[in-house]
Structure 1
């Protein structure tokens, strides 16, 4: 027969394991400011929403807002995709990075991308890493240089995964059950 102390120790150990899972399974949802200075000194800037990846460099982009070129606000960018996927149809995710070394994104106001901008950092599609844009963002093709790219976090919020929340609820339930059983044993004595 298990003693109340054994049950409490088991509940505490289970809670610790589940809590560690809660820490390990968090995704980093964040807001960022970005800017890119072209060779001629023109500046693209704005804000983006994304999820920092495990390498702590790459960001998968979900939204771009307040994009401007030389401080003139451009049109709303509703289409955010991997440029490689947009061009070839091969699945990909829209990515940027703090270092500027990983850049694969196209941002447009319409599905035909008549106005917007793109970064292709590998050089595999144009023969050189590139920044290219429509009218509102400079109407230019520029050799992309990661040293002219800046990405800074506005705020980072750890978002618990659903499995982590379930683990925390289980810890609470075990604690309550253990406490009630301990109270019943004291009354029976």
Structure 2
């Protein structure tokens, strides 16, 4: 993971700025509602990070460098998955800081109950890890040049298609909101997200070991 952090430090800094801009714009447009869903924005933005990292790997020949260094492919895969998990966690913590800060500083402006905001975060976290977990085995097996745009397109379809589908079933949205607003929803989704990333790392390792670079 240290190799990833040092090689992608500028990208990670840019990503932090992007998360900040997205949350700020959301608050500027939606006011208190934007504050309420800052953790959701922070979590879902992480979906776009894996494709970007793999694109830089290929453009900068970092994949070749990884083959030269005394480090196994298993450790490379594990480090990348751990980096994604840590970035997601850091983004969510920032979003939570905005959420709790908004409730403390502007109690009359944030109409959405805190439990609903945390329920939205639970869904966003699980969906984000599912998207990343599906993307990364393909990126390790085929490389960004062959799967990058498909991975990005699939992410966009998953986001907008999922929203459009849910709008067709308003009763289902109400039921899901009630389920994910329960106290146990967020811990369960965190556990599920970690399981998804662990399975993704296992599959990615198998595929990456068989790839001819």
Normalization by structure 1: what TM-score?
Answer: 0.25
- Structure of greater Rg: 1
More helix by share: 2
Higher relative contact order (CA 8 A, sep 6+): 2
Normalization by structure 2: what TM-score?
Answer: 0.23
